Structure 1
Amino acid sequence: MTTHRDHSLYRYVPLLLLCVALLMTAGCGKQTYRPSYQQPRAVSGSGAAIAATAKSQLGRPYVSGGSSPSRGFDCSGLVYWACASNGISVPRISRDQASAGKRISRGSLRPGDIVVFRIPRSGYHTGIYVGQNSFIHSPKPRARVRIESLSVNYWDRYYVTARRVARR
């Protein structure tokens, strides 16, 4: 004996087959979705490109003397590598990065600018401004490349200068 419920499932079979056929003809699973609007790619050597390059290393480990994705980074190594990857030559050491390029005011910061801090008993520390009052850096041993706010009391207290090295 067949009940009404058993037959009700069969009425959806043609609809299901139609959906499968449409998905197959549309190339489901074979094409990559590409939105109609794509954000413009940053021009190499621009501040935006330097910031984007540095951001690509989020989570990499701090390594003293490190200046490559395969090895890891110290603070100045990340700045050095991100700039060099975009055709911008800067010194390798943070003390020297503190005088690279053109000095700019804190209120004029743009993505890609080098931010410089002077930490008592530790020396200079550098990072790259990424916008929205934040910067990316490789902070210390047993830590990873990360983004932090310049408003944090610690960074605000030890901020020294910013330097513009980008071409545009």
Structure 2
Amino acid sequence: MFKQLGRSLPRTTDQQYAATTRVARGSEQIGDLIFFGAPGNIYHMGLYAGDGKMWAAPKTGDVVKLQTIWTSSYSVGRVL
């Protein structure tokens, strides 16, 4: 998706976290990245879909699904 918009992202979640601009929780916009974990130890990431939901693969090898963001402990990154 980002490539079609002329943007690029690294492959790993920690690299993606470092490559995005922080956005305050509660100010997410559709398409922002939702990161779980701490910098240097990001363990999960999803694509914000609006209304407290994100697109993400629940576990390795699973298909991407729309799911509720299950915790308020996350960071938001925006690709500029």
Query: TM-score range with shorter-chain normalisation?
Result: 0.7 to 0.9
Stretches of 4+ aligned residues off by more than 4 angstroms: none
What is the TM-score when the length of structure 2 is the normalising length?
Answer: 0.80
Q: Using a 3 Å threshold, how does the CA distance of structure 1 residues 140 and 88 change in structure 2: closer, same or farther?
A: same
- Tell me what 1:105 maps to: 24
- Tell me what 2:35 maps to: 116
Distance in 1 (alpha carbons) for counterparts of 2:49 and 2:60: 22
SS at match of 2:47: strand
Distance in 2 (alpha carbons) for counterparts of 1:100 and 1:139: 23
Distance in 1 (alpha carbons) for counterparts of 2:34 and 2:42: 14
SS at match of 2:55: strand
**Greater radius of gyration (CA):** 1
Q: CA deviation at 1:87?
A: 1.7
Distance in 2 (alpha carbons) for counterparts of 1:101 and 1:129: 14
Distance in 2 (alpha carbons) for counterparts of 1:141 and 1:126: 12
Distance in 2 (alpha carbons) for counterparts of 1:84 and 1:91: 11
User: Which of 63, 70, 75 matches 1:144?
Assistant: 63
- Tell me what 2:15 maps to: 96
Q: CA deviation at 1:85?
A: 2.9
Gaps of 5+ in 1: 1-81
SS at match of 2:18: coil
Distance in 2 (alpha carbons) for counterparts of 1:128 and 1:94: 12
Q: CA deviation at 1:101?
A: 2.2
The percentage of aligned residue pairs carrying the same residue is 29
Alignment pair present for 1:85 and 2:4: yes
What is the TM-score when the length of structure 1 is the normalising length?
Answer: 0.42
Task: For CA contacts below 8 A with separation 6 or more, give which structure has more relative contact order.
Answer: 2
Distance in 1 (alpha carbons) for counterparts of 2:3 and 2:26: 26
Larger helix fraction of residues: 1
